[in-house]
């Protein structure tokens, strides 16, 4: 199998610079969950760290520990899913900042911190309406008092207040921000001061300055993946960092066969809907099989020619989000589906 995902680390650095310039003075937390959105965790975090990124958003503790291994002691690494006691112990040992959206989890973290004899940094999460792992407003005042008590006891160090928003409609996001503001005031009232406040992900961090607070948690835009239905990457000043290439293995009449199929993550629903970049420009994707696909041929096509399923550089270029829009999903989904069977190759200056 010759298909490969080319990851342009210079483009990653340029996107990071663009995001930082846009959100400044708010800080960037680079979100690297799901193997850095399919681009490969370790090369991405190393390049980002080299470009001065200090904060990494890891989702789970395993990823957080892998980031710690890759970038060393100075990075701040945030994980917001801790599934087990073993996870908590690993997080404490690796000095991971933990997102906490549950009163029981807060006590478990305090226990793990006492046992380890070290103070754990936590960020308290208010549920602002997404109903995904956050403390409900009616429980928030009790939750922040308890956190403040554990903070005074020296078991935990409450360093942040955060939430996650849908970024689907401005009205809903405004409502969520109202709840978030209230939650900040409640935390302040129980003595939790100088908290790092973080609420926005990619879309809101660019479009809604009032959502930036002290830090933004950005994944998609750093990888050059624009929002479905949103502004173009060009308008945002971003470049996709990943290009999915496959080689022609056979020319068969009016079609060429390329060795990339649904087994490797190409959604079969793209059949007859999308085009790919070829040496002669854009050509339709005719069929998607298990491990190979058919593309409409072009004059002079031959085995060994390369097509770009998505990503910059090819004639007839489409982006991951362009494909996503054809089948009613988001660009991240296209990037995440690229199988681990597909080799990742990294380029930089
Ligand atoms: C995935 C995620 C982000 C980043 O979202 P993007 O839209 O990719 O920037 C931020 N915060 C949380 C909690 C997430 O799960």
End-to-end CA distance of the chain, in Å?
27
3-state secondary structure of 190: coil
**35 C-alpha to ligand 1 centroid (Å):** 13
Do residues 16 and 69 share a domain? yes
CB 259 within 8 Å of CB 290: no
Domain boundaries, position 154: 9-225
Whether 88 maps to a domain, the answer reads yes
CATH label of the domain that carries residue 336? 2.40.37.10
Do residues 59 and 143 share a domain? yes
Whether 199 maps to a domain, the answer reads yes
Do residues 149 and 285 share a domain? no
**202 C-alpha to ligand 1 centroid (Å):** 7
pTM: 0.96
* Residue that is written with structure tokens 């395993």 in the block: 62
Q: How many domains does the chain have?
A: 2
- Is 330 touching ligand 1 by the criterion CB < 6 Å? no
Do residues 66 and 204 share a domain? yes
- Is 31 touching ligand 1 by the criterion CB < 6 Å? yes
* Residue that is written with structure tokens 């491990």 in the block: 291
Whether 1 maps to a domain, the answer reads no
> What integer pLDDT is reported at residue 280 of this predicted model?
93
DSSP letters, 58-71, are EEEHHHHHHHHHHH
Per residue in 262-271, pLDDT tens? 999 999 999 9
What element of type H or E holds 343?
strand 343-347
- Is 30 touching ligand 1 by the criterion CB < 6 Å? no
Do residues 41 and 175 share a domain? yes
* Closest atom of ligand 1 to CA, residue 99: 13
- Is 220 touching ligand 1 by the criterion CB < 6 Å? yes
CA 338 to CA 241: how far, in whole Å? Answer: 14
In sequence order, what are the beta bridge partners of 78?
57, 97
Query: Given 199, 225, 251, which residue is the final one in a domain?
Result: 225
Which residues touch 129 (CB under 8 Å, ≥6 apart)?
165, 166, 172, 175, 176, 179
Do residues 176 and 116 share a domain? yes
**18 C-alpha to ligand 1 centroid (Å):** 18
> What integer pLDDT is reported at residue 130 of this predicted model?
85
In sequence order, what are the beta bridge partners of 324?
none
> Chunked in runs of 10, what are the mean pLDDT values of the chain (349 residues)?
95 98 98 97 98 97 98 96 91 97 96 95 95 93 98 97 94 97 98 97 97 98 95 95 96 96 95 93 96 96 96 84 94 95 94
> What integer pLDDT is reported at residue 283 of this predicted model?
95
* Closest atom of ligand 1 to CA, residue 33: 1
3-state secondary structure of 217: strand
**31 C-alpha to ligand 1 centroid (Å):** 6
Do residues 169 and 119 share a domain? yes
What element of type H or E holds 98?
strand 97-100
Query: Given 176, 192, 225, which residue is the final one in a domain?
Result: 225
Do residues 90 and 204 share a domain? yes
Whether 60 maps to a domain, the answer reads yes
CATH label of the domain that carries residue 107? 3.20.20.10
Mutating to test ligand 1, I would choose from 15, 38, 57 the residue with most ligand atoms within 8 A of its C-beta, which is 57
CA 37 to CA 328: how far, in whole Å? Answer: 19
**283 C-alpha to ligand 1 centroid (Å):** 33
CB 334 within 8 Å of CB 320: yes
CA 80 to CA 122: how far, in whole Å? Answer: 10
Per residue in 215-267, pLDDT tens? 999 999 999 999 999 999 999 999 999 999 999 999 999 999 999 999 999 99
Mutating to test ligand 1, I would choose from 26, 31, 334 the residue with most ligand atoms within 8 A of its C-beta, which is 31
- Is 217 touching ligand 1 by the criterion CB < 6 Å? yes
Residue 221 burial (CB count, 10 A): 27
**Three-state SS string across 302-327, please?**
CCCCEEEEECCCCCCCCCHHHHHHHC
**299 C-alpha to ligand 1 centroid (Å):** 44
Give the ranges where 154-215 is alpha helix by DSSP (H): 170-189, 202-207
* Closest atom of ligand 1 to CA, residue 220: 8
| Distances from the Cα of 266 to the Cα of 154, 224, 291, 329, 340, angstroms | 51, 19, 9, 13, 13
Do residues 175 and 210 share a domain? yes
Mutating to test ligand 1, I would choose from 161, 201, 242, 320 the residue with most ligand atoms within 8 A of its C-beta, which is 201
CA 212 to CA 218: how far, in whole Å? Answer: 11
Angle, helices 41-50 vs 9-23, to 10°: value is: 50
Do residues 194 and 256 share a domain? no
Whether 232 maps to a domain, the answer reads no
Do residues 80 and 192 share a domain? yes
The dihedral through the CA atoms of 108, 114, 116, 120 has a sign that is: positive
CA 222 to CA 236: how far, in whole Å? Answer: 11
The residue contributing the CA closest to ligand 1 atom 15 is 59
Whether 233 maps to a domain, the answer reads no
Whether 312 maps to a domain, the answer reads yes
- Is 219 touching ligand 1 by the criterion CB < 6 Å? yes
Do residues 64 and 191 share a domain? yes
**97 C-alpha to ligand 1 centroid (Å):** 16
**146 C-alpha to ligand 1 centroid (Å):** 27
- Is 201 touching ligand 1 by the criterion CB < 6 Å? yes
Query: Given 192, 225, 258, which residue is the final one in a domain?
Result: 225
* Closest atom of ligand 1 to CA, residue 164: 13
């Amino acid at each position: 199998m010759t298909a490969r995902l080319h990851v342009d680390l210079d483009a990653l650095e340029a996107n990071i610079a663009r995001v930082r310039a846009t959100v400044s003075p708010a800080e960037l937390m680079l979100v690297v969950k799901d193997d850095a959105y399919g681009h490969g965790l370790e090369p991405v975090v190393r390049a980002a760290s080299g470009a001065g990124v200090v904060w990494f958003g890891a989702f789970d503790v395993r990823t957080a520990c892998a980031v710690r291994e890759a970038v060393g002691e100075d990075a701040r690494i945030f994980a917001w899913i801790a599934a087990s006691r073993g996870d908590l112990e690993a997080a404490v040992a690796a000095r991971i900042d933990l997102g906490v959206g549950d009163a029981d989890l807060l006590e478990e973290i305090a226990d793990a911190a006492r046992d380890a004899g070290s103070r754990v940094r936590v960020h308290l999460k208010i549920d602002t309406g997404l109903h995904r792992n956050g403390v409900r407003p009616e429980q928030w005042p009790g939750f922040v008092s308890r956190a403040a008590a554990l903070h005074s006891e020296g078991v935990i160090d409450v360093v942040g207040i955060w939430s996650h928003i849908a970024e689907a409609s401005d009205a809903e996001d405004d409502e969520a921000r109202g709840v978030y503001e209230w939650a900040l005031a409640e935390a302040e009232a129980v003595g939790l001061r100088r908290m790092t406040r973080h609420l926005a992900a990619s879309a809101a961090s660019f479009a809604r300055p009032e959502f930036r607070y002290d830090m933004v948690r950005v994944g998609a835009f750093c990888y050059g993946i624009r929002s479905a239905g949103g502004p173009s990457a060009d308008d945002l000043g971003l470049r996709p960092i990943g290009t999915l290439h496959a080689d022609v293995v056979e020319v068969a009449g009016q079609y060429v066969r390329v060795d990339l199929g649904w087994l490797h993550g190409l959604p079969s629903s793209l059949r007859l809907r999308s085009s790919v970049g070829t040496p002669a420009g854009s050509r339709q994707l005719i069929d998607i099989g298990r491990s190979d696909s058919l593309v409409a041929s072009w004059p002079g096509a031959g085995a060994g020619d390369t097509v770009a399923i998505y990503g910059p550089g090819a004639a007839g270029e489409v982006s991951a989000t362009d494909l996503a829009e054809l089948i009613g999903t988001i660009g991240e989904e296209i990037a995440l589906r690229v199988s681990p069977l597909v080799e990742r190759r990294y380029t930089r200056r």
